[in-house]
């Protein structure tokens, strides 16, 4: 476990700079300021630095409104940072790319398209032909029997699985997930967490997974970035040393419990959690 | 509202049909009684029988015979349909442009409001001077009348597109044209159809107004002729015909809407007629 303001990035970046193999993601002192409707300057994100290795599963945990989603949108190239730099494979991120797949908080499926057509949408936008990728992804997320159904015919969990398939359809190296299971009930959510690990094991993507569930972050991630409430800063980076493959029961182990209480303590120290 | 034993759809429809026929029959009886018993003069209110005879006589002519109703109805419907298509398409395009370019909206807004507040009937004589007494003048008047409901609804439809859908398109590097075609236009379809519903009624009105101002054929000319000749029974027959045409026009639009916006049935689609 490492802890401290700029935990990994500077060290890792320095080490990597010498080699020819850049990190999947490098964030250097990222900051984001908004001008609010009343003209006041609001700081959403301040001095966030970290590095992500290829194939790593990183969770970002923090209270609502700590700038987690802002961070994800900067990494995605959807919005620019107001300070600092974001590099993907050593190159600055300036715009969205086919190398990045995004899963939003809500499934954002288009109701007039079937599940298959929804999953194929990114290919259409990029002018690529629909091919067997769509079918095999639908099979992977267990929706092959629902390919020709419309979104409203599917449950919330199934809709979000379709959204994951859509994010993976361009075979991106990096998967960004913005509290993807936050709207699901607890049982479905656990199921989706297992599913998520299975998919990650099969496809070996680099994942940046945003959540406000401490248990979810410990269950899924290799490392956890703990953020402070507004303005969002990095409170700590926690390396989760739990054996893989993980079953849900791993959360009942003493070690997992220690990680969870440590994160809870960190968030409480930041005034992010009551009680 | 619900009965003790829920009636089936078919039974319910039969009840509605029976009630509708009873209502129509009762209305005709009342009308007949009013004209016969109260001795209302035929130039004020002709008996339903006389109107029926006039209607049958008018419809007995062939479609190319200017002495019958079919010919004039054809002219009016052609004007209304052409103006409807022209006005709707340009209204949708103008609405897209206004909603997409905020600056354009800000610049054009005062003119749009001013022109919308202007009774379109007032510009009809001018349009006839510009475009002549033929079909063109009526088509332009109808187009002007149907333009606004489509433009207004297109702007509202664009502004109601879920921001997440636009973000999804941006994350997939969609071009502006792709975003408008695959996200904005389909998302706005329920709004567009609300506009088309209103426009379908205005289209008939536009054609008739144009014919009032000056024309050689069309149901509007017939109305003027019968009015001047105090032939009230055929005048009523033409009014009934106009009502039927308007109803069929609107029913056609609604049938298309049910097919195109099948996905919006359960979602809170905007009600037609809201202007």
Q: ipTM value of the model? A: 0.83
C-alpha torsion sign, points A152, A153, A155, A158: negative
Residue keyed to tokens 């269950």? A219
The DSSP 8-state label assigned to residue B98 in this structure reads: H
- Find the mean pLDDT for residues B78-92: 96
Asked if residue A83 has pLDDT above 60, the reply is yes
Chain A residues lying within 8 Å of B165, measured CB to CB: 108, 110
The pLDDT score that the predictor gives to residue A20 is 56
Give the nearest chain B residue to A152 (CA atoms).
Answer: B263
Show the DSSP H helices in A155-241 as ranges.
156-168, 186-203, 214-220
3-state DSSP percent of chain B in helix, strand and coil, to 5? 80, 0, 20
Q: Is the pLDDT of residue B274 over 60?
A: no
Three-state DSSP at A47 gives strand
| Confidence label for A178 from pLDDT (cuts 50, 70 and 90) | very high
pLDDT digits (tens, 9 = 90+) for A206-225: 999 999 899 999 999 999 99
Whether the predicted pLDDT of A154 surpasses 80: yes
Q: Return the C-alpha torsion angle A237, A243, A245, A251, nearest 10.
A: -70
Q: Which pair of structure tokens corresponds to residue B232?
A: 């009230």
- Asked if the model's pLDDT at residue A161 lies above 50, the reply is yes
Number of H helices, E strands in chain B: 11, 0
Span A176-183, mean pLDDT?
A: 92
Confirm or reject contact between A100 and chain B (CB < 8 A). yes
Eight-class DSSP state of A232? B
Over residues B190-248, the pLDDT tens digits come to 999 999 999 999 999 999 999 998 888 999 999 999 999 989 999 999 999 999 999 99
What is the pLDDT at residue A19?
Answer: 54
Alpha carbons B240 and B4: distance in angstroms, whole number:
39
Q: Is A29 left (phi over 0), alpha (psi -120 to 50) or beta?
A: left
Interchain pair B178, A125: CB under 8 A? yes
Q: What is the mean pLDDT of residues A135-160?
A: 92
Residue A171 at interface with chain B, using a CB cutoff of 8 Å:
no
Residues of A in contact with B183 (CB under 8 A): 110
Report the Cα B269 to chain-centroid distance in Å. Answer: 20
Average pLDDT, chain B: 89
- Of A240-244, B86-90, B125-129, highest mean pLDDT: B86-90
Q: What interhelical angle do B219-228 and B69-100 show, nearest 10? A: 130
Q: How many helices (H) and strands (E) does chain A have?
A: 8, 11
Distance from CA of B174 to the nearest CA of A (A): 5
Asked if the model's pLDDT at residue B267 lies above 50, the reply is no
For residue A51, report the phi and psi dihedrals to the nearest 5 degrees.
-135, 145
Residue A31's DSSP bridge partners are A83
What is the rounded average pLDDT for all residues in chain A?
A: 87
Token pair recorded at residue B68 = 């019958």
- Which are the contacts of B10, defined by CB distance < 8 A and separation ≥ 6? none
Average pLDDT on B32-53 reads 86
| pLDDT at residue A11, as a whole number | 47
pLDDT range class, residue B42, cuts 50, 70, 90: confident
Are A108 and B165 in contact (CB < 8 Å)?
yes
If you average pLDDT over residues A43-65, what whole number do you get? Answer: 91
Q: In this complex, do A108 and B263 lie within 8 Å of one another by their Cβ atoms? A: no
Q: Look up tokens 């992500």; give the residue.
A: A52
Is the pLDDT assigned to residue A3 strictly greater than 80?
Answer: no
- Closest-CA distance, A15 to chain B, in angstroms, reads 31
**Has residue A275 got a pLDDT over 80?**
no
Q: By percentage, how much of chain B surpasses pLDDT 90?
A: 65
pTM here is: 0.83
A124 versus B9: the higher-pLDDT residue is A124
**Domains and their CATH numbers in chain B:** 63-268 (1.10.3720.10)
Q: How many Å apart are CA A96 and CA A106, to the nearest integer?
A: 19
A96-108 pLDDT, tens digit per residue, is 988 899 999 999 9
Determine the pLDDT at residue A273.
58
| Range A188-194, long-range pairs (CB < 8 A, 24+ positions) | A188/A155, A188/A156, A188/A157, A189/A213, A189/A216, A190/A248, A191/A157, A192/A157, A192/A160, A192/A161, A193/A219, A193/A220, A193/A248, A194/A247, A194/A248
Who wins on pLDDT, B32 or A38? B32
Please classify residue B9 by burial: count the beta carbons closer than 10 Å to its beta carbon, then call 0-12 exposed, 13-18 middle and 19+ buried. exposed
Q: Check whether B180 has a pLDDT greater than 80.
A: yes
pLDDT at B121 over 50: yes
Residue B178 has pLDDT above 70, yes or no: yes
């Amino acid at each position: 476990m490492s802890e401290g303001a700029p935990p990994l990035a500077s060290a890792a970046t320095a080490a990597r700079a010498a080699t020819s193999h850049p990190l999947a993601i490098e964030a250097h002192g990222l900051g984001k300021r908004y001008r609010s409707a009343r003209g006041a300057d609001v700081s959403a994100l301040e001095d966030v630095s970290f590095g992500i290795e290829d194939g790593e599963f990183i969770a970002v945990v923090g209270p609502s409104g700590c700038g987690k989603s802002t961070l994800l949108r900067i990494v995605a190239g959807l919005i620019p940072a107001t300070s600092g730099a974001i590099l993907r494979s050593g190159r600055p991120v300036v715009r969205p790319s086919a190398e990045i797949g995004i899963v939003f908080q809500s499934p954002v499926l288009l109701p007039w398209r079937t599940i298959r057509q929804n999953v194929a949408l990114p290919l259409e936008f990029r002018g690529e032909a629909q091919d067997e990728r769509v079918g095999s992804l639908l099979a992977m997320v267990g929706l092959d029997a629902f390919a020709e159904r419309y979104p409203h015919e599917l449950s919330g969990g199934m809709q979000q699985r379709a959204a994951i398939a859509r994010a993976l359809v361009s075979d991106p190296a990096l998967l960004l997930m913005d509290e993807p299971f936050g709207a699901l009930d607890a049982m479905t959510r656990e199921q989706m967490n297992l599913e998520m690990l299975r998919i990650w094991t099969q496809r070996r993507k680099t994942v940046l997974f945003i959540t406000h569930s401490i248990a979810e972050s410990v269950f899924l991630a290799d490392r956890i970035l703990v953020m402070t409430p507004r303005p969002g800063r990095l409170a700590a980076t926690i390396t989760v040393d739990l054996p893989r493959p993980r079953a849900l029961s791993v959360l009942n182990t003493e070690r997992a419990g220690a990680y969870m209480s440590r994160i809870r303590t960190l968030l409480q120290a930041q005034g992010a959690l009551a009680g | 509202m619900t009965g003790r034993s829920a009636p089936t759809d078919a039974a319910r429809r039969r009840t509605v049909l029976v009630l509708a026929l009873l209502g129509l029959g009762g209305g005709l009886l009342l009308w007949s009684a009013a004209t016969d018993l109260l001795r209302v003069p035929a130039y004020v209110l002709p008996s339903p029988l006389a109107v029926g005879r006039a209607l049958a006589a008018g419809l007995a002519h062939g479609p190319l015979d200017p002495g019958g109703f079919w010919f004039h109805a054809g002219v009016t419907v052609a004007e209304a349909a052409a103006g409807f298509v022209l006005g709707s398409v340009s209204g949708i395009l103008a609405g897209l442009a206004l909603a997409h370019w905020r600056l354009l909206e800000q610049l054009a807004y005062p003119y749009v409001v001013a022109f919308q507040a202007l009774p379109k009937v007032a510009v009809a004589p001018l349009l006839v001077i510009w475009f002549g007494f033929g079909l063109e003048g009526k088509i332009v008047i109808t187009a002007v009348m149907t333009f606004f409901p489509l433009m207004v609804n297109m702007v509202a439809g664009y502004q109601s597109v879920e921001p997440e859908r636009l973000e999804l398109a941006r994350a997939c590097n969609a071009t502006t044209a792709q975003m408008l075609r695959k996200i904005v236009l389909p998302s706005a379809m329920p709004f567009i159809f609300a506009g088309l519903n209103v426009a379908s009624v205005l289209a008939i009105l536009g054609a008739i107004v144009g014919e009032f101002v000056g024309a050689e054929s069309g149901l509007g000319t017939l109305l003027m002729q019968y009015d001047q000749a105090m032939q009230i029974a055929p005048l009523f027959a033409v009014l009934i015909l106009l009502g039927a045409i308007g109803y069929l026009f609107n029913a056609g639009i609604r049938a298309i809407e049910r097919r195109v916006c099948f996905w919006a049935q359960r979602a809170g689609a905007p009600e037609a007629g809201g202007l």
